[in-house]
C-alpha cells in the first residue's frame, strides 16, 4: 500500500537552505556575503535592519559599497536618543544610502497599550513588543531575507550565532557574526567611519534611552541594555518576531 509522503513546509525548507548557505558561504568575508546574498541568493528581496547604534557604520558601509540603493529599515521607537537620530541621518549622507525606510509603531497599539509613554516602567517586554517587535515584523514581511549587524562577541547569548539562520520561512543573515571587536574597530578606523557620539560616553550598545546605560569596564557590550534585569534582547531577534510575522500573514 502506498503511503502519502509529507512534503516539507516553508519553514523546513528555509532551515535547510540556511544550513546550506552557512556551509557554503558562512566563512567568507562579510562584504562578499552581502554581495552574494543581495545579488545571487535574494536579488531585490533582501532588506537590512539597522539600529544606527554603536558600530552600525561598519555593516552600512559594506552595504553601500555593494549597492547603496538596498533597502535599510530603521525602527523609530519614539524613544531613541537624539544623538542616534542625528547619527542615522549623518550616515545616510556619508554613504549615499537611498533606500532608508523608517518604520514606526502603530498608533492604535500605542494608544491602547502605552498611551502615556511609560509602559517601559512596568513591562519592558510589552513595550518592546509594541515599539520594536511588531514594527520589525512589518519591516521584513515583504522580503525573503534580511541583514543584521549582530556579532558573537556582543554577549553570551550570541556566542554561537551563525551567519545564516532561518526565522519561519525567511532567512536572517548576520554577515559580521564571526568578526571580533578588534575587527570592527580596525575596519572603522581604517576607513575613518563616523562613530555614534554616545560611544564616547561609554554607551557600547545603544537602544532606547530609558533602557540604555553606560557599560562598566570588563562587562560585555550589551550589559548596558535593560541593566538590572534578566532581559538581554528586545525580542526582534527572538521567537517573538516569528510569532509577529506569523500573525501578520494570517
CA distance 212 to 221: 11
- The stretch 197-214 carries a mean pLDDT of 89
pLDDT tens track for 108-156? 999 999 999 999 999 999 999 999 999 999 999 999 999 999 999 887 8
CA distance 50 to 203: 17
Judge whether 196 and 56 are in contact, CB under 8 Å: yes
Q: In terms of pLDDT, which residue wins out, 231 or 204?
A: 204
pLDDT tens track for 212-228? 888 876 666 656 555 54
Q: What proportion of the chain, given as a percentage, has pLDDT over 90?
A: 73
Residues labelled catalytic: 234
Q: 219 Cβ partners below 8 Å, 6+ apart?
A: none
Sign of CA pseudo-dihedral 57, 63, 69, 74: negative
Residue 232 has pLDDT above 60, yes or no: no
Q: In terms of pLDDT, which residue wins out, 236 or 20?
A: 20
Put simply, whether the predicted model's pTM sits higher than 0.75 gets the answer: yes
Q: 12 Cβ partners below 8 Å, 6+ apart?
A: none
CA distance 173 to 114: 32
- The stretch 17-27 carries a mean pLDDT of 98
pLDDT tens track for 87-115? 999 999 999 999 999 999 999 999 999 99
According to the model, what pLDDT value does residue 223 have? 65
Task: List the domains of the chain with CATH numbers.
Answer: 10-244 (3.40.50.620)
Residue 47 has pLDDT above 90, yes or no: yes
According to the model, what pLDDT value does residue 241 have? 58
Amino acid at each position: 500500500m502506498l503511503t502519502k509522503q509529507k512534503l516539507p513546509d516553508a519553514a523546513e525548507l528555509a532551515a535547510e537552505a540556511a544550513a546550506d548557505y552557512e556551509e557554503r558561504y558562512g566563512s567568507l568575508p562579510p562584504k562578499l556575503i552581502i554581495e552574494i546574498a543581495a545579488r545571487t541568493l535574494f536579488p531585490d528581496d533582501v532588506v537590512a535592519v539597522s539600529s544606527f547604534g554603536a558600530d552600525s557604520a561598519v555593516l552600512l558601509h559594506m552595504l553601500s559599497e555593494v549597492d547603496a540603493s538596498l533597502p535599510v529599515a530603521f525602527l523609530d521607537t519614539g524613544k531613541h536618543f537624539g544623538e542616534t537620530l542625528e547619527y542615522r541621518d549623518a550616515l545616510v549622507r556619508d554613504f549615499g544610502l537611498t533606500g532608508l525606510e523608517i518604520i514606526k509603531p502603530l498608533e492604535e497599539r500605542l494608544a491602547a497599550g502605552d498611551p502615556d509613554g511609560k509602559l517601559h516602567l512596568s513591562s519592558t517586554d510589552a513595550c518592546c513588543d509594541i515599539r520594536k517587535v511588531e514594527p520589525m515584523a512589518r519591516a521584513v514581511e515583504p522580503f525573503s531575507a534580511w541583514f543584521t549587524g549582530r556579532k558573537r562577541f556582543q554577549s553570551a547569548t550570541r556566542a554561537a550565532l551563525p551567519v545564516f539562520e532561518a526565522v519561519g520561512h525567511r532567512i536572517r543573515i548576520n554577515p559580521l557574526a564571526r568578526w571580533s571587536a578588534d575587527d570592527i574597530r580596525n575596519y572603522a578606523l581604517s576607513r575613518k567611519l563616523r562613530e555614534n557620539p554616545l560611544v564616547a560616553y561609554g554607551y557600547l550598545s545603544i537602544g532606547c534611552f530609558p533602557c540604555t546605560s553606560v557599560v562598566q569596564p570588563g562587562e560585555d557590550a550589551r550589559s548596558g541594555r535593560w541593566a538590572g534585569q534578566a532581559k538581554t534582547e528586545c525580542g526582534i531577534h527572538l521567537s517573538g518576531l516569528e510569532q509577529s510575522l506569523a500573525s501578520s500573514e494570517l
